[in-house]
């Protein structure tokens, strides 16, 4: 009995040895030991998935790609044996995206990679800003970056902004840095501002604001004006109708 069982066991092990043991993903650029691909905005990432195991099995294996759990649409000629996916151009939303590939007949046989998209804060150029005296002034800079910026600084006419003297409020939520003055004064707030963000990977990036403070203008209340005009129009209309009735009576 044991002699009969041993050939069957050997045949079973031999059969398993010829089957696909898994899938692997190769990429350009290459992924690191943690399965992460380092790339930048506007670049291209190429991914190729292949089953492991014997060559005879590879050609018949259907492959499925997922991006963050959602199925990626593939052409018919890009499903069996060897399947490729191209991410071009790389965009902000690709940062942290996970691409996985598995066998069509066995989803547990899978491999995955994750994109780490680096980018600098989008700061450049000069913006013209006009604001009235005693009005609110809000200047803001996009400081969103990967890796996050190490610092953000504001200057006025080349000197660091004095938050106390100028009455400014400075906020930074990791995405936007804002400089806010609730009541603008020409002598304190007019001039050239610069927002500078320092990136540990990309260095410094800056944006300038040329702020002009204009005299305060008198603003007429809109709703009372509309109400007054309506009253005048209605009164005039009644006067015309009344006058017309008197003229009609005289002509009879």
> All domains of the chain, ordered by start, with CATH?
2-118 (2.60.40.10), 126-214 (2.60.40.10)
Phi and psi angles of residue 175, each rounded to the nearest 5 degrees, phi first: -110, -40
Collapsed DSSP state (helix, strand, coil) of residue 243: helix
> Lowest-pLDDT range, 4-18, 213-227, 230-244?
4-18
What are 146's strand-pairing partners? Answer: 119
Do residues 27 and 114 touch, judged by C-beta distance below 8 A? no
Query: What confidence score (pLDDT) does residue 226 get?
Result: 67
75 pLDDT higher than 50: yes
100 pLDDT higher than 90: yes
Q: In the numeric block, which tokens belong to residue 128?
A: 């013209």
Query: What confidence score (pLDDT) does residue 4 get?
Result: 41
- Average pLDDT for 191-218: 95
CA distance 165 to 187: 12
The reply to whether omega before 89 is within 30° of 0 (cis) is yes
Average pLDDT, the chain: 84
Do residues 108 and 135 touch, judged by C-beta distance below 8 A? no
- Average pLDDT for 166-186: 96
- Average pLDDT for 204-216: 96
Pick from 82, 54, 79: nearest CA to 64: 79
Pick from 165, 195, 160: nearest CA to 181: 165
Query: What confidence score (pLDDT) does residue 242 get?
Result: 60
Collapsed DSSP state (helix, strand, coil) of residue 196: strand
Select the more confidently predicted residue: 53 or 181.
181
Query: What confidence score (pLDDT) does residue 45 get?
Result: 98
pTM higher than the cut 0.85: no
Measured CA angle at 123 (ends 122, 125), to 5 deg: 130
Model confidence band, residue 217 (pLDDT cutoffs 50, 70, 90): confident
- Strand pairing category for 137-142 and 126-132: unpaired
> Lowest-pLDDT range, 1-5, 12-16, 148-152, 232-236?
12-16
Model confidence band, residue 216 (pLDDT cutoffs 50, 70, 90): confident
Model confidence band, residue 15 (pLDDT cutoffs 50, 70, 90): very low
- Average pLDDT for 175-202: 97
CA distance 20 to 101: 14
HEC profile of 20-88: CCCEEEEEECCCCCCCEEEEECCCCEEEEEEECCCHHHHCCCEEEEEECCEECCCCHHHCECCEEEEEC
Do residues 152 and 204 touch, judged by C-beta distance below 8 A? no
Pick from 48, 66, 70: nearest CA to 102: 66
Reported as a single tens digit per residue, the pLDDT across 30-52 is 999 999 999 999 999 999 999 98
Phi and psi angles of residue 15, each rounded to the nearest 5 degrees, phi first: -65, -45
Model confidence band, residue 78 (pLDDT cutoffs 50, 70, 90): very high
Based on the number of CB atoms within 10 Å of its own CB, is 81 exposed (0-12), middle (13-18) or buried (19 or more)?
middle
Neighbours of 232 (CB within 10 A): 10
Residue that has been written with the tokens 């804002």 in this structure: 178
Model confidence band, residue 19 (pLDDT cutoffs 50, 70, 90): very low
Distance of CA 96 to the CA centre of its chain: 12
């Amino acid at each position: 009995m044991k002699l009969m069982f041993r050939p069957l066991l050997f045949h079973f092990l031999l059969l398993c040895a010829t089957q696909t043991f898994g899938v692997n993903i190769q990429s350009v650029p290459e992924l690191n030991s943690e399965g992460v691909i380092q790339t930048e905005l506007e670049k291209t990432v190429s991914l190729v998935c292949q089953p492991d195991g014997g060559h005879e099995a590879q050609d018949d294996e259907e492959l499925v790609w997922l991006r963050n759990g959602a199925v990626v649409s593939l052409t018919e000629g890009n499903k069996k044996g060897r399947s490729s996916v191209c991410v071009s151009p790389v965009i902000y939303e690709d940062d942290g995206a996970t691409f996985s590939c598995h066998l069509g007949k066995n989803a547990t046989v899978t491999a995955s990679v994750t994109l780490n998209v680096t980018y600098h804060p989008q700061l450049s150029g000069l913006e013209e800003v006009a604001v009235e005296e005693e009005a609110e002034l809000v200047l803001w800079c996009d400081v969103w970056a990967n890796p996050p910026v190490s610092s953000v600084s504001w200057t006025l006419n080349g000197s660091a902004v004095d938050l106390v003297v100028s009455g400014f409020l400075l906020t930074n939520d990791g995405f936007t840095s804002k400089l806010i003055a609730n009541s603008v004064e020409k002598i304190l707030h007019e001039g050239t501002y610069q927002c500078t963000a320092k990136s540990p990977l990309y260095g410094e990036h800056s944006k300038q604001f040329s702020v002009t403070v204009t005299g305060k203008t008198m603003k007429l209340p809109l709703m009372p004006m509309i109400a007054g005009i309506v009253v005048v129009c209605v009164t005039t209309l009644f006067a015309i109708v009344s006058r017309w009735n008197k003229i009609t009576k005289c002509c009879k």
